């Protein structure tokens, strides 16, 4: 079975590296790691991941704007926002921007995996309907 | 004093003298002295006399010069002679028998039937009571003026019937108006700052219908263009029918207090802006650094747990190694954040040691030839706010030396001088033109304004001395505030 291909976008190096190590070890394939919003959009277009795991607060272009750009450019590519804040308002903003899910960074690995898998399944279903 | 009839050269009084006698002996506190062309006393009588000797054998027939003290004689003789020359004279003179006694003297010529001056009449009245009352009034006026000057309060009055305005001398002074200016409502109106004029006029007009006192602040513009802030108390004065007939008030010059208040508000604004900036930096540090760092640690722990669940003890070690490094990095980052809030060295080693270390570090980094460091507070415990402020000033001044001064020698002194703590940072570097301080500060971020304001905020003083090519010396001075 093909592993789900993930693009990670986070400006914090230690977190980015921890995330890449974890995801690669629990059955995902991290195809790229972006350091800001512009980098995330460019890598998403270039690498065509199954799902993008997007931080919100990033330099150059923040995660919300990057999500909007991706939604316009690649409407079938699901974006999961991954934020340090567990905030209902931020969640609403993220979903409005086009994210399919919002995860706080202190979520369990199980939840992270399930959300990424679910996002890919949901996106595939939507693409199939079109 | 009882009336005593004088004799005229030993003879009975002449008939022509009787009317004068009648007047003098019936008016309270009055005396009449008749004198001839030779200035000799012909008659002296009254309910009171400046000198009882005048109406005795000793007095009558003698001249004024013979009967009054020398310091009085010249003035009195001059007025008596003037009367003989046909002129009226009025004098007010202190008495010479009782201390505090005061006399008014009207001296007029007496004429014969042919109109020729045959002698003179001096009408003396004891005005001691009136004089004392006037003196007391003058004293009260002086005290009032003095009090107004000290309190910088002027008073004024506006008579509605005549529309005339009068001011106290202090109000003229406060408003910079010459004392000889004839005041009108128009002049007083024009002195009010254009932005406050309508408000002030409206309030004044309101007093006519409601005389109750009110307080307001407004600005006035002196003839020289300077603006003065006034605290005005105003009220209407009514006649018996209850109609407002006058408006009175006091205007206190509160310009200095206003300036201090504006300066306080400006400093508070800067303080809040600085605090906001600190909070923003702190929030950014917490969010972009520590929250992410902790999240990364959480991910590594999860990762380790995943491997343990899979029974992969070996690979867990790798994760734990990275986790340990992550925790170390995070601790270092947290220390930097805390140090930015308050230098830990202050708590650990005190201000003197902290400033000494800063100076030594500056010498090393700037490669100075010599550094004279004298820090000794004699174990004096300082208020933490003062400590932090002096430390920050030292930090900024030494950063300036390192980055801008191009100096060879540095002197840093921190010592107690009586009730003051003094910090001096002096270098022999390139210096700058202090008149360009603001521009220099804006361009190079010397933090001069910041140092000055930091010290002002704790009641301290900041002194800067610099000249191109002649080095720079800053001195910070704060009154000792011993920590409770």
Rounded distance between C-alpha atoms, residue A30 and residue A116, angstroms: 12
- Closest partner residue to B292 (CB to CB) among A15, A25, A108 is A15
For residues B77 and B68, give the distance between their C-alpha atoms in angstroms, rounded to a whole number. Answer: 10
Chain A contacts to B (CB-CB under 8 A): 10-12, 14-15, 17-19, 21-22, 25-26, 57, 84, 105-106, 108-109
Look at the alpha carbons of B139, B145, B146, B151 in this order and tell me if their dihedral is positive or negative.
positive
User: From the CA of A84, how many Å to the nearest CA of chain B?
Assistant: 7
Other CB atoms within 10 A of residue B372 CB: 12
Return per-residue pLDDT of chain B as tens, 484 residues.
Answer: 333 444 444 444 455 677 888 888 888 888 898 999 998 888 888 888 888 777 766 677 888 778 788 888 888 889 999 999 999 999 998 888 888 889 999 999 999 888 899 999 999 999 999 999 999 999 999 999 999 999 999 999 999 999 899 999 999 999 999 999 888 888 899 999 999 999 999 999 999 889 999 999 999 999 999 999 999 999 999 999 999 999 999 999 999 999 988 888 888 888 888 888 878 888 888 888 888 899 999 999 999 998 888 888 778 888 888 889 889 888 888 877 777 777 777 877 788 888 988 899 899 988 999 889 998 887 778 888 888 889 999 999 998 998 888 999 999 999 998 888 999 999 999 988 876 555 555 555 567 888 888 888 888 899 989 888 999 999 999 988 555 5
What distance in Å separates the CA atoms of residue A89 and residue B225, rounded to the nearest whole number?
A: 56
Q: What is the ipTM of this complex?
A: 0.88
Question: How many of the other CB atoms lie within 10 Å of CB of B99?
Answer: 7
B300 chain-A contacts, CB cut-off 8 A: 18, 21-22
Residues of A in contact with B302 (CB under 8 A): 22, 108-109
Q: Specify the fold of A5-125.
A: Rossmann fold (3.40.50)
Percentage above 70 pLDDT, chain A: 98
According to CATH, the topology of domain B345-479 is Heat Shock Protein 90 (3.30.565)
Q: How many CB atoms lie within 10 A of CB B166?
A: 12
Q: Select B147-253's CATH number: 1.20.58.1610, 3.20.20.450, 3.90.79.10, 3.30.450.20.
A: 3.30.450.20
Select from 3.30.450.20, 1.10.3720.10, 3.50.50.60, 3.40.50.1580 the CATH code of B15-126: 3.30.450.20
Nearest to B296 among A15, A57, A108 (CB): A15
Mean pLDDT of A59-75: 95
Q: Where does the pLDDT of residue A53 fall: very low under 50, low under 70, confident under 90, or very high at 90 and above?
A: very high
B362 within 8 A of B372, measured Cβ to Cβ: no
CA distance B270 to B259: 16
What pLDDT score was predicted for residue B184? Answer: 86
B437-471 CB burial, b ≥16 within 10 A, e <16: beebbeeeebbbebbbbbbbbeebebebebeeeeb
For chain A, give every domain's residue range: 5-125
Residue B263 in tokens:
């300066």
Give the residue ranges of DSSP H helices in B401-478: 437-444, 448-457
* C-alpha span between A6 and B116 (Å, rounded): 136
How many CA atoms are closer than 13 Å to the CA of B153, on its beta-carbon side? Answer: 14
Kindly give the pairing relationship between strand B409-417 and strand B370-376: parallel
Answer whether B147-253 and B345-479 agree in fold. Answer: no
Please indicate whether, in this complex, the C-beta atoms of B292 and A106 are within 8 angstroms of each other: no
Chain A positions touching B329 (Cβ under 8 A) are 14
Closest residue in B to A22 (Cα–Cα): B303
Domain ranges of chain B: 15-126, 147-253, 259-341, 345-479
Residue position matching structure tokens 């008030």: B249
Inter-chain CB pairs, A–B, below 8 Å: 60
Global pTM value: 0.53
What does the pLDDT read at residue B483?
52
């Amino acid at each position: 079975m093909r592993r789900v291909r993930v693009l990670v976008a986070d400006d914090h190096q230690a977190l980015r590296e921890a995330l890449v190590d974890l995801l690669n070890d629990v059955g995902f394939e991290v195809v790229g790691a972006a350091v800001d919003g512009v980098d995330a959009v460019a890598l998403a277009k270039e690498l065509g991941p199954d799902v993008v795991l997007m931080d919100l607060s990033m330099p150059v272009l923040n995660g919300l704007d990057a999500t909007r750009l991706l939604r316009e450019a690649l409407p079938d590519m699901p974006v999961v926002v991954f934020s340090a804040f567990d905030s209902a308002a931020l969640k609403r903003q993220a979903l409005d921007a086009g994210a399919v899910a919002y995860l706080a960074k202190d979520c369990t690995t199980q939840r992270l995996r399930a959300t990424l898998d679910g996002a890919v399944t949901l996106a595939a279903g939507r693409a199939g309907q079109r | 004093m009882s009336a005593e009839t004088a004799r005229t050269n030993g003879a009975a009084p002449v008939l022509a003298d009787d009317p004068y006698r009648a007047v003098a002996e019936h008016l309270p506190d009055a005396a009449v002295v008749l004198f001839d062309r030779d200035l000799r006393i012909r008659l002296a009588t009254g309910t009171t006399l400046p000198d009882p000797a005048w109406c005795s054998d000793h007095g009558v027939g003698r001249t004024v010069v013979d009967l009054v003290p020398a310091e009085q004689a010249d003035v009195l003789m001059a007025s008596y002679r003037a009367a003989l020359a046909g002129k009226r004279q009025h004098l007010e003179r202190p008495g010479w028998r009782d201390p505090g006694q005061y006399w008014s003297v009207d001296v007029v010529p007496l004429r014969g039937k042919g109109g020729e001056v045959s002698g003179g009449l001096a009408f003396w009245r004891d005005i001691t009571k009136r004089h004392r009352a006037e003196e007391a009034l003058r004293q009260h006026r002086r005290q009032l003026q003095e009090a107004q000057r000290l309190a910088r309060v002027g008073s004024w009055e506006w008579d509605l019937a005549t529309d005339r305005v009068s001011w106290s001398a202090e109000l003229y002074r406060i408003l910079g108006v010459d004392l000889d200016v004839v005041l009108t409502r128009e002049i007083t109106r024009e002195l009010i700052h254009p932005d406050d004029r309508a408000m002030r006029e409206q309030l004044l007009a309101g007093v006519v219908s409601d005389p109750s006192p009110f307080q307001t602040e407004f600005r006035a513009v002196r003839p020289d263009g300077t603006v003065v802030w006034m605290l005005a108390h105003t009220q209407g004065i009514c006649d018996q029918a209850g109609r407002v007939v006058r408006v009175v008030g006091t205007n206190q010059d509160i310009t200095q207090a206003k300036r201090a208040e504006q300066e306080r508000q400006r400093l508070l604004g800067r303080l809040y802006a600085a605090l906001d900036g600190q909070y923003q930096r702190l929030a950014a540090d917490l969010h972009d650094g520590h929250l992410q760092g902790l999240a990364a640690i959480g991910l590594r722990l999860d990762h380790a747990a995943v491997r343990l669940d899979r029974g992969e003890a070996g690979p867990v070690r790798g994760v734990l190694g990275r986790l340990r490094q992550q925790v170390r990095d995070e601790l270092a980052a947290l220390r930097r954040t805390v140090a930015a809030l308050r230098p830990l060295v202050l708590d650990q080693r005190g201000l003197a040691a902290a400033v000494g270390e800063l100076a030594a570090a500056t010498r090393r980094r700037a490669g100075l030839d010599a550094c004279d460091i004298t820090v000794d507070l004699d174990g004096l415990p300082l208020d933490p706010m003062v400590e932090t402020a002096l430390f920050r000033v030292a930090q900024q001044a030494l950063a300036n030396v390192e980055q801008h001064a191009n100096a060879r020698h540095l002197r840093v002194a921190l010592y107690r001088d009586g009730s003051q703590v003094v910090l001096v940072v002096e270098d022999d570097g390139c210096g700058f033109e202090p008149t360009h301080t603001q521009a220099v500060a804006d361009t190079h971020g010397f933090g001069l304004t910041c140092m000055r304001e930091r010290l002002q905020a704790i009641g301290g003083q900041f002194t800067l001395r610099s000249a191109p090519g002649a080095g720079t010396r800053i001195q910070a001075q704060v009154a000792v505030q011993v920590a409770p």
